[in-house]
Amino acid sequence: MMVGLFFSFSNKLELKHTAVVNENGIEILDITKQSISDRIIYFEKEFNLVNKKAFLIERTVLLSQPFSYSEILLELPKYEEVTLVGENDFTYWKVNYQGKEYYVNKNCITTDKQVFKTVQDATYNHNWKGKVLNAYLGTIIGPNGRETYYNLNMDGVLAIMRRMGNTDKYWIRDDGVKMLGDYVMVAANLELHPRGSLVECSLGIGIVCDTGGFVQINPTALDIAVNW
């Protein structure tokens, strides 16, 4: 038995019916009986080619095909940059990441720089009305006490956090603050704030990733990781 497909062309390509050819001739099936897979095969894998810088606005899986049930090949953290290379009217778009093509839910990415900036700005502490730590001030009293800053290589600190299971993206905010996902990277007294716990600071919500000798002098102090 052969299966044939009939299409109707109007403003956009549309699959109208599935036709089954048998020894008795052609029987046209009602459109409500056509399979979803018929439509998927012909439309959801067709893309308009583009080449746009895009950013993930949430933790996102990269799929092998543009369907929800496809194999998950990678999982990327929020704020990761990808290149959008194919878009259409369906849910999953084609992206390039590190030289390979994948498919992502279009609601997880943005090519709008202003939208991406708004997402990043949400990591600031907009509720804090006091002084904000910066290179000029050097030290302030923040929402949880004394705050200072340090600028060191974070590879060792990140390795510890990865071993603890943290997979959030490491990135540097526009103001030079070193971030792990949505959180400001801070050093603190681990007896008060265990590694991985969250604590408020003038620059945002901090995630405790490190400690230092300063806690012997001021147990409640925070040392904030920056690129200044």
Digit-coded pLDDT (tens) for 91-101: 999 999 999 99
Tell me the two tokens of residue 136. 């000029």
The residue assigned the tokens 């700005």 is 121
pLDDT of residue 44: 77
The residue assigned the tokens 């997979």 is 167
- Strand (E) or helix (H) holding 183: strand 183-187
β-partners of residue 93 are: 104
How many other C-beta atoms can be found within 10 angstroms of the C-beta atom of residue 131? 13
The length of the chain, given as a count of residues: 228
Tell me the two tokens of residue 63. 């799929």
The residue assigned the tokens 């804090």 is 128
Among 143, 137, 148, 142, smallest CA distance to 217 is for: 148
How many other C-beta atoms can be found within 10 angstroms of the C-beta atom of residue 205? 15
Q: Which residue has the higher pLDDT, 109 or 37?
A: 109
pLDDT of residue 43: 72
Residue 138: pLDDT over 80: yes
- Strand (E) or helix (H) holding 199: strand 198-201
User: In angstroms, what CA-CA distances link 179 with 16, 35, 78, 152, 184?
Assistant: 51, 47, 11, 13, 5
15-60 confidence digits (pLDDT tens): 444 455 555 554 544 444 555 555 555 577 889 999 999 999 999 9
114-128 confidence digits (pLDDT tens): 999 999 999 999 999
172-214 confidence digits (pLDDT tens): 999 999 999 999 999 999 999 999 999 999 999 999 999 999 9
pTM, two decimals, is 0.76
pLDDT of residue 181: 96
Going along the chain from its start, the domains and CATH numbers come out as: 2-44 (no CATH), 48-118 (2.30.30.40), 123-225 (no CATH)
- Strand (E) or helix (H) holding 69: none
